Amino acid sequence: MAIKANLSTLAEVYHPGVTLDEKLAEMGMGIKEFALRVSKPEKTIIAVISGKSSITTEMAVSFENVTKIPASFWLRKQQAYDEYLVRKRREELAVKSAEWMKKFPVREMMKRGWLETAETVEGKVQSLFSFFAISSRKAWEDYYLNQELKVVFRISLSRAADPYAISAWLRQGEIVAKGMTVDREFDGTVLKNKLNEMKALMVSEAQDFFPKLQSLCSDCGVKLLLIGCLPKAPVNGATRWIGNAPVIQLSDRYKRYDIFWFTFFHEIAHILLHGKKEVFLEDVADMETDLLKEKEADAFSSEILLPQSAEKEIIRSKDYSGRALKEAAKRFGTHPSVIVGRLQHKKVIGFAKNHELLKKVDFRG
C-alpha cells in the first residue's frame, strides 16, 4: 500500500526542545541551573532547546528526575519529530522525482489496480516507490538499469526502448508470482514428461486452456502467469527464477493462438536449457540478448509445435488450402494456427493467406 503522507496533509511536529523550553519557563528555572541538575554541559541543553540536538535515552531519564515528566514522553516526542523530518525530506524527494514518475504509464497502472490511486504528483511518486518496494528514484535505477543486484536480477533495461513500462510489467509479475504456490519443487524431468500433455492441451482448443496450463506447470514446480501488456512495453513473455521457482510471465500483446503457444514453449526452453540467474525478455527492442540462447529456445519451441520434418513435408506438398492444412495439423498433432503462422513466418505463403485459420485468443473472457 502506498504511503499517503504528503506536505499538504503532514501536520507539523515540533522538536521536543520547544516543550523543554516551555517547561523550564513554567518551573522558573534557567538553562544553566537545569544543565547543572541533569549533569550536562550548558551548550548541550542550548542545542536541544534550539532544535539542533536530539534528546537521547540517557538525557530523557535525567530530564525525568528534574521535570517530573516521564522519559518515555521525551523519547516519543523526539521519535515523532525525527519521523516528521524524514517524511518531509521524502516528500521533497518526491517532488524532485516528478519527471521520473511521468515516464511510467501511471494512469494505466492505477486503472489496473497495480498502484494505489493518487491525485497529487507526490502521491503518485510515493505510490511508485511502494509498488517497486524502493525508497528513491536512484534505487530504481540501480536495480533495473545499473544491475547493482546482479545475483538476483541479471539484466539491465538501460538499452530498452522503454525501461519504465517494462520494469513495471516485470514488477507486477514478481508481485503476482510471490503470491502463488506450486504443487512441488521444480523438477526438470517432470516438466519434460509434461510437454506432450501441454501440447495436447493446445490441440484440444479447450476454452479454459490457460488455468489448465497453469495447473500442468504447477505440477512441475513452475509458476505460470499472465500479465496484461502495458502501453510502450511490447513484451511477449519473460522467464526468470523468483526464489526457488521458475516463473513464466506471458503478456496478451498478441491475441494469436500460435504466438501464445510459441512464446510459452520458448520460455519452457529457457527453464530447461539455461541459467537460473538470468532474465529472458522476448521481443524487446534494443535489448542486449544472448542470441545463441534465444535461437536455442526458438528451435526448441518450433520442434515441439511443428517438427522440421513435418514442416518440410507440408512445404513439399505445395497444397496450402485450408482443408489441406487442417488435415496436416491432425496428422502431425498440432494446431492449424501453428502451421499457418510458421508458413507465413518462413514467407512460404503471404500474410493474407489462410488468415481464417489463425485462431484468436481473448484472455479477458
Distances (CA, A) of 16 to 54, 55, 141, 272, 289: 8, 8, 37, 61, 56
Q: How confident is the model at residue 10 (pLDDT cuts 50, 70, 90)?
A: low
Digit-coded pLDDT (tens) for 136-147: 889 999 888 876
3-state secondary structure of 113: coil
Which amino acid is residue 182, in one-letter code? V
The predicted pLDDT at position 320 comes to 94
Is the confidence at residue 281, as pLDDT, over 60?
yes
170 with 82, same domain: the answer is no
270 with 205, same domain: the answer is yes
The predicted pLDDT at position 7 comes to 39
Digit-coded pLDDT (tens) for 247-279: 999 998 888 999 999 999 999 999 999 877 777
Digit-coded pLDDT (tens) for 28-44: 999 999 999 999 999 99
CB burial of 267-296 (b: ≥16 within 10 Å; e: otherwise) equals bbbbbbebeeeebbbbbbeebeeeeebbeb
Q: Which of 76, 94, 112 is the last residue in one of the domains?
A: 94
CATH of the domain at 257: 1.10.10
192 with 292, same domain: the answer is yes
Is the confidence at residue 286, as pLDDT, over 80?
no
Q: Which of 120, 150, 178 is the last residue in one of the domains?
A: 178
In a domain, 63, yes or no: yes
> Average pLDDT of the chain?
88
In the block, which residue shows the cell 490457460? Answer: 210
In a domain, 6, yes or no: no
Q: How confident is the model at residue 122 (pLDDT cuts 50, 70, 90)?
A: confident
301 with 316, same domain: the answer is no
CB burial of 12-26 (b: ≥16 within 10 Å; e: otherwise) equals ebebbbebbbebbee
347 with 256, same domain: the answer is no
The pLDDT of 215-221, averaged and rounded, is 97
166 with 140, same domain: the answer is yes
Residue 359: which domain range?
A: 307-365
340 with 235, same domain: the answer is no
3-state secondary structure of 247: strand
Q: Which of 147, 178, 209 is the last residue in one of the domains?
A: 178
* Domain count of the fold of the chain: 4
The pLDDT of 277-299, averaged and rounded, is 75
86 with 41, same domain: the answer is yes
C-alpha cell at position 56: 537521547
Is the confidence at residue 280, as pLDDT, over 50?
yes
